[in-house]
Every structure is written in C-alpha cells, then in structure tokens.
C-alpha cells in the first residue's frame, strides 16, 4: 500500500491527547484510583528547626497501626538525588521544621488523624540567614576576561542589591502517591514529574534491585518543579509502609502539609557592581549571588548553576566575574521550581539594567539595544551564541508592539508606569548534564499501531500531544494514529526527567530520530501494512551531543546549553496611591522559541508561566516565622486569580535551532523569568523604587514614603 502524504501535525493546534478525559472528569489522578486493602499514611514531623530528638511518646493504642521509623529502612536511609545528606526519616537530629521522623499507617483515616505522638527535643540554635551560613551546598565561579580591566574602562560604576523571596509551586493537586507491595518489591503510583528519579530513590532506600521497583506516573495535576525531586521523599515513605505492612499504602498530602513541608523556590540575594560607558556600553559585571538552600542539598547545586549562567542576562560584556553559593539554613529544603535559579538572577540583572539606565539618563530600551547579545557574541561562560540568537529581535518587536517609548513618555508623572525585561533561557540540562543523562526514547510498532515510549511525563504542558505531533510528521502518518504509552518504568526507557525545558528539544529530538529510523524501515508501507507483513519492532535512540558542543564543568567555561530561547516582556502597572497596591493592567510578551510544535500549547506555557511570574512579582509571599511557613494555606498565600491577571498579548517568533525537532527549543520555563523585573521596572517608572520581590503593598508603601521623605 502506498503511503499518502497526510496533513502535517507540527505547527497545528491538534487536539490534546488526554483532553477529553480531563474535561469529563474521567482522567484519573492518584486520589481517584481505588486500591483494595489500603492503609492510609500520616507523616509525623519535627516541630523545631534544629535539634536532637530526645524522646518519642506514643499516646495512643498502637494496635492495628503500622509504625515506621528510621530503623525500618531496609536499604540506605537517604533520599537519593545528588548529595546524600537528606535522610528519608530523621535518625537523631532534625535540621528543619516539618522534617519527617515517623510514619503512622492505619486503614481508618479518623483513627490515624487522632493518634497522638509527642516528641521531645534538645533544641539547637537555628540559622535562617543564608549569608551567615557556614555551610555551602555548592559554590560556583564564572570568570570572563579581567574584571579590573573592564572596570578600568568604565565611566560610571553602578551598584545594586536585589532580593527575591520563596515561591510555592502551588500545583492544584497536592503531592500524593500509593505504594503497592508486589512480587517481592514495590510498585509506586503517583503524581510526579520524573519516574526514574523516584525509581532510583526507591531502589536505594529499600535496598532492592532495580527490577523489583516499578514507578507509574498517574495523571498529574501540575508540577512546575514541585514534583521533580519531592516525590522521591513521599514515595519513599509510602513504600516503607507498604514493605513493612505488606499492604498498599496511600499517602496524599493536604494543602497545608504540602505547603509546610515540600520544596519551594530558593530565596536569593543578588548584588551587582557594573562598569558602564556613558553611552551605556557594559564594560564589566561583578555579580554575587547567594541562594537560600534550606536544610538539605536537594537540587540546590544545579539550581545555582542555572542561576549563575543566566546571572549576567542576555548581554555582551567582555569582563565578568560572577560568584555564587547555595547556603544551608534551617528551613525546609528549597528545590526545583520552573526557571530553576534563572528567575532570581534575571530579576536582579533586569532590575539593575533600569537602575543603570536611570543613572546614565538613557532610555532602558536603548540601553538594552546597545548591549543585547548578537549572533557570534559570547555569553559569560564564553559560549558563542548561534544564528538563532534573537535577543535584539524580541526586544524591538515587544517595544514596537507596545509603542513602548511613546507610552513611557505619555505615562510620565502618573500613577502608572511601564517597564520591560529582556531575558533568555537555556534549553536542556546545564553544561555536560545531557551527556551524563544519556537519555533514551523508544518508538514501537505493535499490533495496535505506533506507540511512543518515553519517561517524559504529561503534567499539563502537553508532552503527549507534542511528542505525537513530532512522530506523526516524521513518519508521515496522521497524528491520531500515534499512541503514547503511560510513563511506567516497566515499559518505557529512561528519557531523563521532565524538567529544564528539555522535553521537546531533547526528548522530542530523540523521538524524531526514532521515527526517522522507523520510516526508513517501513519503506513505502504504512505502519499497519508493515506490521501485517513483517511483525512489530522497537526503535530506541540515545542522546548524542550535537557537534561542537563543549563544556568544562571545572571552570564553568564553554557551551552551557545547546540553545537558548529569547524573550521580552512589557508590563504596565498601576499603583493605587491610597492602598499602595500595584496592579498589572496590561502584559505583552514576545517569545522566540525556535519552532512552536503546537502554537496553542506553546502560548499556554507562555501565558501560564507569565501569570506565575506576575504572582512572583507582586502577590506570592511566603512568610517564614521561626523556620516555619506562617501562611501555609491558600487563604493567605495568594496566587493570581482571574481578577489579578491582566489581559495578555503573546507573540511567538521562530528562529529554528538546528538540533531541535523541527527547529524547536525549550519553552516551559522561560516565561517565568521576565515578569518580575518588568513589573519592578514599571514601578520604578511610576516613581516607586523597589528592589525586593514580591512587591507587596507594604513594600511599595515604604518605598513611596522613602521618596516623599
């Protein structure tokens, strides 16, 4: 049978694979799936931020309960990730409030909730200030050129200090898992981003060979990084109960517990000292970054890495010295959150650029035009950016669309201000990360048709849909005929984690290569015809480094990412002169992402990420008191509602990346990098100088009072 060229899927808004299930309530999230004979699990957590466990008292009848502590760990009592510092269950000491110490399990939830456990501690003195911390999880130094020489060329040196608070991911479905003891091992079902992270963590914790551990992602109600590493913790707990009791163990956090105990975006303190010529040209950048890592290392080292690489912004500068560290404090560990260090450091550089513009009396748009990276320029790590570097295009397009300069003049002296931010975001793992990961993806021809087998998870961003589009067009078959396997470690290879804006560019490219091979093997036959004649087969491809990509991890030199997306946000903000509340009234962004495989999904990422960024800028304040989140509920941790979100204008530009599928780069994270500095710059334009986010009414009031003396 001769194959007919079908209508292309890539670039079209095909229907989302699981869309019907999501709008009908049929999609099954972890809490929707019934398990027989299930035990419910409750985590008993520390109530002090630092200290030694003195004694534990069980003030309830323990009959019928399964109780698990560190002595029940059959393997190694660690949450296996990068460092091995975090115990699954505390042994003698605790480093933060809400640290897991014990697990209680019972078939009756009411009994479980009323069980009283009292723990006495010998308290130690906690430290909540990352700048005073002696312990660094990671330190990074980036040097380009000679800072002294660059400062020597400067006409003016501009200094600034910028601070960003915690941010909660606030996926609407809290963390949750069910562990089922099976075949001498365990099967773990849960809401998670990275099945193989959990797989490894369980094998280490339970002392099981990898084949005795199976991890199955259930439909996941948002992640944003909050389900990158944390599921390894909660999965470990459920699995310990399941192994000890021999029964399925269900552990689903309620909102308060999720907010108290799970990871958040790292707070950051960033200091800039920048040498500039009178005409605005950057001659030297001296940057110091401190991230608050919280009590355990989690992913702090890599969050810092991405933060540092993005810390000098999308600008050309020959002389850069950047120093950064992620410091330990006695608060719950911070971890992955969309943007992964880049929102903090790009907030700082982009707010600082407007300070520089003010100091020099130059329009902030002109200052950025002068310094924006052009193809052939080098980044802070010495990476020569390619032809797909579009910093200048996105900047000019955003300015044009919003009549930025004209608007800026028109708003002068009013309660409104307009600000912009220019930013970039590296796609894929940092530095040599992709080489180390060596991800795999498979494409199978079965009696049911063509099936994608990857560990990449659908968490709302459209993974299944976008991957199926890439495969459909590469094979030349209709989109509807491509099936996507569940992310189940029993059936899919390790495609690496679903993080770092890598699911399209890296895993999508692997699938494209699988499909190219499959196409060659099918010849002129359709998949069904081939199967009938020759039977099925599976194609698997592994990551191959694009030619010329080199990275030196010891010196932080070289090609930090395969490619970058580029974007510019413009936001107009109104400040209420009575309540000091700042409200974004319009938001425009231009994003260049290589190729939009599915324009509607890509726009959805940009709108959603921008909205989270506006929340980060203005609303989302994690109040820490004594090492504990004091507002761990949705009543007073405020995320944007419909009424807080301004109308958004989204424009997508495409400058294809040679090694991305159909030219695609990453898109998931970049949108959250830009809104906070654009808002703060708009506030500055409205006469309110704020250098710390979130810019709550309290901070704006203080700034306004400073101004009026």
Partner 1 sequence: MRLNVNRKIVTVKAHPLARLLDVLREECGLTGTKEGCGEGECGACTVLVDGEPVNSCLVPVAQVQGTRIATIEGLGGTHRLQRAFVEHGGAQCGICTPGMIMAAAALGRRPSLDEIRTGLAGNLCRCTGYAAIYRSVLASRTTSKGKGQRAKA
Positions in the binding site for partner 1 (CB under 8 A): 13-16, 18-29, 31-32, 169-174, 219-224, 254-255, 459-462, 596, 599-604, 607-612, 633-635, 639-643, 645, 647-648, 650, 652
Between residues 137 and 479, which has the closer beta carbon with respect to partner 1?
Answer: 479
Contact between 571 and 584 (Cβ < 8 Å): yes
Q: What is the DSSP-derived secondary structure letter of residue 398?
A: H
Residue 520: partners with Cβ closer than 8 Å, 6 or more residues away: none
Q: Least Å distance between CB 631 and partner 1?
A: 12
Toward partner 1, which CB reaches closer, 221 or 674? 221
Return the residue matching tokens 């480094």. 545
Least distance (Å) from partner 1 to the CB of residue 662? Answer: 17
Residue 418 and residue 410: Cα distance in Å, rounded?
10
User: Judged by CB, which is closer to partner 1: 433, or 462?
Assistant: 462
Beta-strand relationship, 449-453 and 482-484:
parallel
- Measured in degrees and rounded to the nearest 5, phi and psi for residue 201 equal -60, -40
Count Cβ atoms below 10 Å from residue 387 Cβ, excluding itself: 11
CA–CA dist 245, 563 (Å, integer): 49
Under DSSP, the state recorded for 378 is: B
Q: Which residue, 260 or 634, is less far from partner 1 as judged by CB? A: 634
- List phi, psi (to 5°) of 392: -65, -40
Q: Which is nearer to partner 1, 559 or 669 (CB)?
A: 669
Question: Is-contact 389 422, C-beta < 8 A?
Answer: no
Strand partners, 182: 185
DSSP track, 95-143: -STT-EEEEEEES-HHHHHH--EEEEEEE------GGG-S-EEEEEEEE
Q: Of 187, 230, 204, which Cα lies nearest the Cα of 35?
A: 187
Q: Nearer to partner 1 by C-beta: 114 or 414?
A: 114
**Residue 615 CB, nearest approach to partner 1 (Å):** 9
Considering beta carbons, is residue 29 or 537 the nearer one to partner 1?
Answer: 29
Residues forming beta bridges with residue 572, ordered by sequence position = 418, 586
Letter string b/e over residues 530-542, b meaning 16 or more CB atoms within 10 A of that residue's CB: bbeeeeeeebebe
Spatial neighbors of 231 by CB under 8 A, at least 6 apart, are 175, 177, 190, 191, 192, 193, 194, 197, 198
Q: How far is the CB of 30 from partner 1 (least distance, A)?
A: 11
**Contact between residue 588 and residue 648 where contact means Cβ atoms under 8 Å apart:** yes
Distance in Å, CB of 671 to partner 1, minimum: 9
Q: What is the rounded distance in angstroms from the CA atom of residue 83 to the CA atom of residue 75? A: 17
Query: Across the strands, what pairs with 219?
Result: 29
Nearest to partner 1 of 27, 135 (CB atom): 27
Q: Is the peptide bond before 284 cis (omega within 30 degrees of 0)?
A: no
Cβ–Cβ under 8 Å, residues 635 and 626: no
Minimum CB separation of residue 602 from partner 1 in Å reads: 7
Distant-in-sequence, close-in-space partners of 303: CB < 8 Å, separation ≥ 6: 266, 291, 326, 334, 335, 336, 340, 341
Q: Which residues contact 343 (CB under 8 A, 6 or more apart)?
A: 164, 265, 613, 616, 672, 673, 676
Q: What share of the chain is helix, strand, coil (3-state, %, to 5)?
A: 30, 25, 40
Taking the least distance from each CB to partner 1, the nearer of 133 and 612 is 612
**219 or 350, CB closer to partner 1?**
219
Nearest CB to partner 1, comparing residues 255 and 277:
255
Pick between residue 11 and residue 75 the one whose CB is nearest to partner 1.
Answer: 11
Cβ 43 to partner 1 shortest distance, Å: 17
Tell me which H or E stretch contains 125: none
| Cβ neighbours for 270, distance < 8 A, ≥ 6 positions apart | 161, 162, 163, 164, 287, 288, 289, 290, 311, 344, 345, 347, 348, 349
| Chain mean position to CA 704 | 34
Place of tokens 């180390």: 436
**C-beta closer to partner 1: residue 171 or 424:** 171
Minimum Å gap between C-beta 31 and partner 1 is 7
C-beta of residue 575 within 8 angstroms of C-beta of residue 582: yes
Which of 269/603 has CB closer to partner 1? Answer: 603
Residue 611: CB minimum distance to partner 1, A: 3
**In sequence order, which ranges of 277-338 are alpha helices (DSSP H)?**
300-309
| Min dist. Cβ of residue 604 to partner 1 (A) | 5
* Closer residue to partner 1 (CB): 362 or 634: 634
First to last CA, the chain: 82
Q: For the CB of residue 641, give the shortest distance to partner 1 in the complex, in Å.
A: 5
Which of 39/380 has CB closer to partner 1?
Answer: 39
Q: Shortest gap between Cβ of 613 and partner 1 (angstroms)?
A: 9
Name the minimum Å distance from CB 265 to partner 1.
14
Q: Smallest distance from the beta carbon of 353 to partner 1, in angstroms?
A: 25
Closer CB to partner 1, 15 or 705, in the complex? 15
Q: Residue 677: which H helix or E strand, with range?
A: helix 675-685
- Shortest distance in whole angstroms from residue 170 CB to partner 1: 6
Q: Is 116 helix (H, G, I), strand (E, B) or coil?
A: coil
Q: How far is the CB of 548 from partner 1 (least distance, A)?
A: 34
Distance CA 66, CA 63 (A): 8
Task: State the Cα–Cα distance between residues 103 and 87, nearest whole angstrom.
Answer: 14
Sheet holding 93-94, edge to edge: 93-94, 51-58, 117-123
> CB 285 → partner 1: shortest distance, Å?
32
């Amino acid at each position: 049978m001769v194959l007919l060229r079908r209508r292309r899927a890539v670039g079209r808004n095909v229907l989302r694979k699981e869309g019907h299930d999501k709008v009908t309530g049929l999609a099954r999230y972890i809490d929707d799936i019934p398990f027989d004979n299930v035990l419910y699990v409750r985590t008993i957590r520390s109530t002090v931020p630092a200290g030694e466990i003195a004694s534990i008292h069980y003030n309830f009848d323990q009959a019928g309960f399964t109780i698990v502590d560190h002595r029940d760990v059959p393997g190694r009592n660690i949450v296996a990730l990068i460092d091995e510092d975090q115990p699954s269950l505390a042994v003698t000491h605790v480093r933060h409030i809400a640290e897991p110490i014990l697990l209680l399990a019972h078939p009756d939830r009411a009994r479980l909730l009323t069980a009283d456990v009292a723990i006495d501690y010998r308290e130690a003195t906690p430290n909540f200030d990352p700048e005073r911390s002696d312990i660094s999880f990671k330190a990074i130094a980036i040097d380009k050129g000679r800072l002294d020489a660059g400062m020597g060329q400067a006409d003016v040196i501009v200094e600034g200090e910028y601070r960003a608070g915690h941010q909660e991911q606030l996926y609407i479905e809290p963390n949750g898992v069910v562990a089922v003891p099976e075949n001498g091992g365990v099967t773990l079902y849960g809401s998670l981003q990275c099945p193989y992270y959990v797989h490894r963590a369980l094998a280490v914790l339970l002392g099981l060979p990898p084949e005795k551990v199976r991890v199955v992602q259930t439909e996941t109600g948002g992640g944003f990084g909050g389900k990158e590493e944390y599921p390894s913790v909660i999965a470990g707990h459920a699995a310990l109960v399941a192994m000890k009791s021999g029964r399925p163990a269900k552990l689903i956090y309620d909102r308060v517990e999720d907010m108290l105990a799970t990871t958040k975006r790292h707070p950051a303190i960033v200091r800039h000292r920048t040498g500039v010529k009178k005409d605005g040209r950057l001659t030297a950048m001296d940057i110091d970054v401190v991230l608050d890592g919280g009590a355990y290392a989690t992913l702090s080292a890599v969050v810092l890495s991405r933060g540092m690489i993005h810390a000098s912004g999308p600008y050309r500068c020959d002389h850069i010295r950047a120093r950064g560290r992620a410091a330990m404090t006695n608060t719950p560990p911070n971890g992955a959150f969309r943007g992964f260090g880049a929102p903090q450091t790009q907030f700082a550089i982009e707010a600082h650029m407007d300070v520089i513009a003010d100091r020099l009396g130059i329009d902030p748009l002109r200052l950025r035009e002068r310094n924006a990276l052009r193809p052939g320029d080098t980044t802070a790590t010495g990476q020569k950016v390619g032809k797909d570097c579009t910093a200048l295009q996105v900047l000019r397009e955003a300015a044009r669309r919003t009549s930025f300069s004209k608007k800026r003049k028109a708003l002068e002296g009013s309660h409104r201000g307009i600000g912009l931010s220019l930013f970039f975001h590296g796609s894929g793992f940092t530095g040599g990360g992709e080489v180390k990961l060596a991800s795999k993806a498979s494409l199978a021809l079965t009696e049911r048709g063509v099936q994608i087998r990857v560990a990449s998870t659908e968490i709302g961003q459209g993974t299944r849909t976008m991957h199926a589009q890439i495969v459909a067009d590469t094979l030349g078959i209709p989109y509807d005929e491509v099936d996507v396997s569940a992310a189940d470690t029993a059936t899919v290879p390790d495609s690496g984690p679903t993080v770092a804006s890598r699911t399209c560019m890296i895993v999508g490219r692997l699938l494209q290569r699988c499909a190219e091979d499959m196409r060659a093997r099918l010849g002129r036959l359709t998949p069904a015809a081939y199967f009938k004649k020759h039977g099925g087969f599976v194609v698997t491809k592994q990551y191959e480094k694009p030619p010329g990509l080199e990275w030196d991890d010891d010196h932080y030199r070289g090609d930090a990412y395969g490619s970058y997306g580029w974007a510019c946000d413009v936001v107009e903000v109104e400040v209420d002169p009575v309540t000091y509340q700042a409200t974004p009234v319009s938001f425009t962004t231009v994003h260049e992402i290589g190729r939009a495989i599915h324009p509607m999904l890509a726009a959805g990422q940009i709108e959603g990420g921008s909205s989270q960024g506006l929340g980060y800028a203005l609303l989302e304040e994690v109040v820490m008191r004594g090492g504990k989140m004091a507002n761990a509920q949705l009543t007073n941790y405020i995320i944007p509602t419909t009424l807080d979100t301004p109308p958004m204008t989204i424009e997508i530009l495409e400058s294809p990346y040679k090694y991305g599928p159909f030219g695609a780069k990453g898109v998931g994270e970049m949108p959250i990098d830009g809104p906070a500095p654009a808002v703060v710059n708009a506030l500055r334009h409205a006469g309110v100088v704020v250098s710390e986010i979130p810019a709550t009414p309290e901070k704006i009031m203080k700034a306004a009072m400073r101004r009026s003396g």
